[in-house]
């Protein structure tokens, strides 16, 4: 069952920019796997999602409000799966990536060292 998204201060963006479709897409097994692999590699999940977001939802994903909402959504998706925040505001330097920074998460059974 898909848990509802809590948009908080992204309510307007969620309503006007097809937020429910993005939320549902973030829960697909392939996308969850991408986020989990990025987390395993101790990289921001949004970094790995960048090319797929553009392919799926188009250039509108480059707007700051959309990127911030996606980051907010990713956090909720991963926390629902037991992940916890490891590091925030990690710089993303990959050429062509739409995100400037993102948060990294760790799996519930992973020991921080």
pLDDT, position 36: 97
What pLDDT is attached to residue 101? 98
- First vs last C-alpha separation in the chain: 34
Rounded CA gap, 110 and 71, in Å? 22
**What is the model's pLDDT at position 111?**
61
CB 105 within 8 A of CB 39: yes
Per-residue pLDDT of the chain (113 residues; tens, 9 = 90+): 789 999 999 999 999 999 999 999 999 999 999 999 999 999 999 999 999 999 999 999 999 999 999 999 999 999 999 999 999 999 999 999 999 999 999 998 866 55
Could you give the CA distance from residue 12 to residue 82 in angstroms, rounded to a whole number? Answer: 28
Q: Rounded CA gap, 5 and 100, in Å?
A: 24
Q: Where are the domains of the chain?
A: 13-106
Please state the separation of Cα 97 from the chain's center in Å: 13
Contact between 3 and 80 (Cβ < 8 Å): yes
Is the CB of residue 52 less than 8 Å from the CB of residue 65?
Answer: no
């Amino acid at each position: 069952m898909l848990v509802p998204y809590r948009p908080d201060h992204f309510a307007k963006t969620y309503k006007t920019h097809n937020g429910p479709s993005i939320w549902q897409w973030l829960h697909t097994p392939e996308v969850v796997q991408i986020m989990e692999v990025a987390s395993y590699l101790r990289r921001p999940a949004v970094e790995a999602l960048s090319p797929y977001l553009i392919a799926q939802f188009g250039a509108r994903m480059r707007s700051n409000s959309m990127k911030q909402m996606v980051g907010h959504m990713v956090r909720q998706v991963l926390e629902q799966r037991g992940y916890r925040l490891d590091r925030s505001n990690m710089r993303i330097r990959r050429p062509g990536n739409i995100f400037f920074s993102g948060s990294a998460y760790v799996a519930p059974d992973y020991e921080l060292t």
